[in-house]
A = this chain, B = another copy of it.
C-alpha cells in the first residue's frame, strides 16, 4: 500500500525526516510517499500559521487523491485533519491524533511532553474530546534549535518531563512535536511507561485503517462535496470541490 506522508510546513527537510521515520515504522509492503505543500508557512509555530497552512496542505492532498491508499499528516497540530478526511477518498490520520488514540489503548490516562508551549496541544486534545483521558501536559524549557546543539541536554529535559507526567498519573506519554520525533529509542530504557511517537503511531494506524477498508461516507460532514464553485484555487483542488468524476 502507498501512504502519503503529508507535511503542512513548506520546509522540505522536515518532510524528509518524517518520511524516514515513517519508512522505519511501516510494515513490509508499505510504500511511503513524501509530500510538501507548494505554499504556506516554513514552520508552523502559531495558530495563525496553522490556519494559513490548511490551504497548502489540502492543495497538496488534492494532487494525490486517488493515487495513495492513506494519508498521515506529518505535522504535530494535525492541521486541517477533518477537512482532509472530507477531501480525500482514502483514510487520513493525524500524527498526534494517532498517538493519543494509541495511548487510550495502553491505560486510563496519558500525558504529553513537548518543547515550549503546551496550549495548542491542550486545545487539540480538547477538540478531540479526549480531555478526560489527559493526565497533564509538560512543556520542556527548550527549543528545537537547542535540541540540535545539545541533544544530551534535550534528552535529559524530556526524560524529566516524562517523570513528572508519570508522577501525575500518566500510563503512557505522547511525544509532541517534530523535534521529539526519533527520541523514543533513547528514552525507552529510562521511562517507566510507554512513549508514543506520532509518526510511528500514525503509520501503524493508517495501515490498520487500510486493512479495514472503510467505505467513503456518502452522507454527512465527511461525504465528498459536489458542484461547489471556487476562485483562484489549483485545478486539482477546484476539481475535487466540483466533484462529479
Q: B-contacting residues of A (Cβ < 8 Å)? A: 10, 27, 38-43, 45-52, 54-56, 58, 80, 82-83, 85-87, 91, 93, 97-98, 101-102, 104-108, 119-120, 122-123, 126-133, 166, 169-172, 188, 191-194, 196, 200-201, 204-205, 207-209, 211-212, 214-215, 217-223, 225, 228-233, 237, 241
Q: Are B131 and A129 in contact (CB under 8 A)?
A: yes
Q: Are B233 and A47 in contact (CB under 8 A)?
A: no
Given known A-B contacts A192-B219, A204-B208, A231-B40, A91 and B120 have beta carbons under 8 A apart: no
Contacts of A54 in B (CB 8 A): 51-52, 54-55
Residue of B nearest to A85 (CB): B107
- State the 5 A-B residue pairs at the shortest beta-carbon distance, nearest first: A39-B232, A129-B132, A51-B83, A194-B214, A55-B55
Q: Are A105 and B91 in contact (CB under 8 A)?
A: yes
Q: How far is the CA of A233 from the CA of B53 in the complex (A)?
A: 10
Given known A-B contacts A169-B220, A230-B41, A211 and B83 have beta carbons under 8 A apart: no
Copy total for this chain: 6
Q: Are A47 and B83 in contact (CB under 8 A)?
A: yes
Given known A-B contacts A10-B231, A230-B41, A225 and B133 have beta carbons under 8 A apart: no
Q: Are A192 and B49 in contact (CB under 8 A)?
A: no
Residue of B nearest to A120 (CB): B221
Q: Sample 19 A-B pairs with CB under 8 A, ordered by A number.
A: A10-B230, A10-B231, A27-B211, A40-B230, A41-B228, A48-B241, A49-B225, A91-B106, A93-B105, A97-B105, A129-B131, A130-B130, A166-B219, A191-B215, A192-B223, A193-B217, A194-B214, A194-B215, A208-B208
- Name the distance in Å between A213's Cβ and chain B's nearest Cβ: 9
